[in-house]
Amino acid sequence: MVIGREFGGLRISWIVLWKLRNLYWRQRSRIEWLKCGDRNTRFFHMNANGRRARNIIKGLMGDDGRWYDTKPGMEKIIQDYFSTIFQTTNPTQMALENVLNKVHPKLSPCMK
């Protein structure tokens, strides 16, 4: 059974009505954008430049507590960080076996 409403002799489901309502509000929200922006206007450029300014890393704090805002300084901090998190701590054979024992191989019938 479709829940709906009689509308000019047609039965319109609530899902269709909901989609039409969402479409109406989405189009209405874009009216202001079409009036004020997206036409090489000051409004458009302010929005674009605001996004660009928020997406820039202006500096990084090093492990020594100093603020680095030069490209070489930030590159060094990033390189040191990723070198640290992706290096081994020389685990023992027993620790490796402990981890590998918890991994159970799964093969499909065609792989056997």
pLDDT tens, position by position, 81-106: 888 888 777 778 888 888 888 888 88
* Cα–Cα distance for residue pair 77/63, rounded to 1 Å: 8
Give the global pTM.
Answer: 0.39
Report the SS3 class of residue 16.
Answer: helix
**Average pLDDT across the chain, whole number:** 76
Annotated domain spans of the chain: 4-54, 58-89
- Provide DSSP, 38-85: SSS-HHHHHHHHHHHHHT----EE-TTS-EE-SHHHHHHHHHHHHHHH
Average pLDDT score over residue span 31-56: 67
* Cα–Cα distance for residue pair 55/34, rounded to 1 Å: 25
- Residue partners of 68: CB distance under 8 A and separation at least 6: 59, 60, 61, 62, 74, 76, 77
